[in-house]
Amino acid sequence: MKILVTGGTGYIGSHTVLSLQEAGHDVVVIDNLINSSDEALRRVAELTGKPAAFHRTDLLDEQAVDAVFAEHAVDAVIHFAGLKAVGESVSEPLKYYHNNLVGTLNLLRSMDRHNVRSIVFSSSATVYGEHNAIPYVEKMEIGANNPYGRTKEQIEDILSDLGAADGRWHIALLRYFNPVGAHPSGRIGEDPQGIPNNLVPFIAQVAVGRREKLMVFGGDYDTPDGTCLRDYIHVVDLAEGHVAALNHIAERAGVFRWNLGSGTGSSVLEVLRSFEKAVGRPIPHEITGRRAGDLPAFWADATSALADLSWSTSKSLDQMCEDHWRWQKNNPQGYSAD
């Protein structure tokens, strides 16, 4: 198939382009490079031997999106493009609602005009909000508690309404848990701009000497070691989950929801210990106050993806940390130093 990947130069997008190409698909990428570098795609091409067609296009520019569909006979879309920093979405909600919602509406309208009606959407475990019991199951009532999460929830609603209104659409809503790690080659990985918001990229920058120490946000939660539990998933497993979802919806119309997670929680200190093992030395850290908005613990019920897609995670926390560290050590400044 010919797959259009929006946000394909980003962290999860670039790994998914690689998995798609390895599965034999042709790939077209749209990205405005607001949070990524096209160097990622050059390196994916180096690894697969197959360059993806790249369009530096903003989803907010509907005509430019139309031009991409006019140029390529696309069979299906994987939609990653969006802004994703929870804290920034609280301080700049209009920027988030505008970019994520209008960008998605432009994409869907353009797809409809060009008779492309298969889409895999990057949703997030954040849609489960703060009131659901763990583990999270797809059939639970959703309700995000921050503007970023609400953009994901609202896009899920738009896609659900679309699927209900028009039986020609094939829609997969994928709720990711916490993606970490990098391709085992160490050539592509996560390259956050500025101070990393997320745990593993922060630990990696401490390990490589770009930051002094990790602040562990809260050591007094009601969890086995007092730190929060999350469901970490290797980005290569996550990328393969997209290929599996795409194969499933290629055969079936309708709206499908799947958690992509491992089904187990790991604590902040367990992640730190695993990363220290990968690096081979202790990583400076300090236990400090809780971060506003953090939930003590959540993880996926991962049974639906296994049953429907024959997909489950295969890589351990130690592999995630080893691969993340290989990428960081070989590319201390991310893509910018080349």
Q: Are 84 and 151 in contact (CB under 8 A)?
A: no
Q: Which does 31 bind (CB under 5 to 8 A by kind): ligand UFG, ligand NAD, none?
A: ligand NAD
What Rg do the C-alpha atoms of the chain give, in angstroms? Answer: 19
Known catalytic residue at 335: no
d(CA 283, CA 64): 46
DSSP for 87-154, written as a single string: HHHHH-HHHHIIIIIIHHHHHHHHHHHTT--EEEEEEEGGGGTTTSPSSB-TTSPP--SSHHHHHHHH
Residue 215 contacts ligand UFG per CB under 6 A? yes
Closer to ligand UFG by CB, 174 or 309: give it: 174
Q: Measured between alpha carbons, how far apart are the two ends of the chain, in Å?
A: 33
Binding mask 106-145 for ligand UFG (x = CB under 6 A): ------------------xxx-------------------
The residue from 54, 128, 169, 176 that contacts ligand NAD (CB under 6 A) is: 176
The torsion angle over the Cα atoms of residues 189, 315, 305 and 10, rounded to 10 degrees, is 0
Closer to ligand UFG by CB, 111 or 120: give it: 120
d(CA 182, CA 171): 27
Q: Which residue has the tokens 């009601």?
A: 222
The residue from 3, 4, 5, 9 that contacts ligand NAD (CB under 6 A) is: 9
Name 29's Cβ contacts closer than 8 Å, sequence gap at least 6.
4, 5, 6, 8, 9, 13, 17, 41, 52, 53, 54, 55
Which range of residues in 30-38, 197-205, 233-241, 247-255 is near ligand UFG by CB under 6 A?
197-205
DSSP 336: G
Which range of residues in 6-14, 130-138, 208-216, 281-289 is near ligand NAD by CB under 6 A?
6-14
Q: Are 11 and 189 in contact (CB under 8 A)?
A: yes
Binding mask 247-276 for ligand UFG (x = CB under 6 A): ---------------------x--------
Options 11, 128, 136, 148, the catalytic residue: 148
* Residues between 44 and 73 that touch ligand NAD (CB under 6 A): 58-60
- Look up residue 218 and give its amino acid: G
Closer to ligand NAD by CB, 35 or 274: give it: 35
> Considering the complex, what minimum distance in angstroms separates the CB of residue 146 from ligand NAD?
12
3-state DSSP assignment of residue 81: coil
Q: Which residues are catalytic?
A: 148
Residue numbers at the binding site for ligand NAD (CB under 6 A): 7, 9-13, 30-36, 58-60, 80-84, 99, 103, 122, 124, 176, 178-179
Q: What residue ranges bind ligand UFG (CB under 6 A)?
A: 84, 86, 124-126, 176-178, 197-199, 202, 214-217, 228, 230, 268, 291, 294
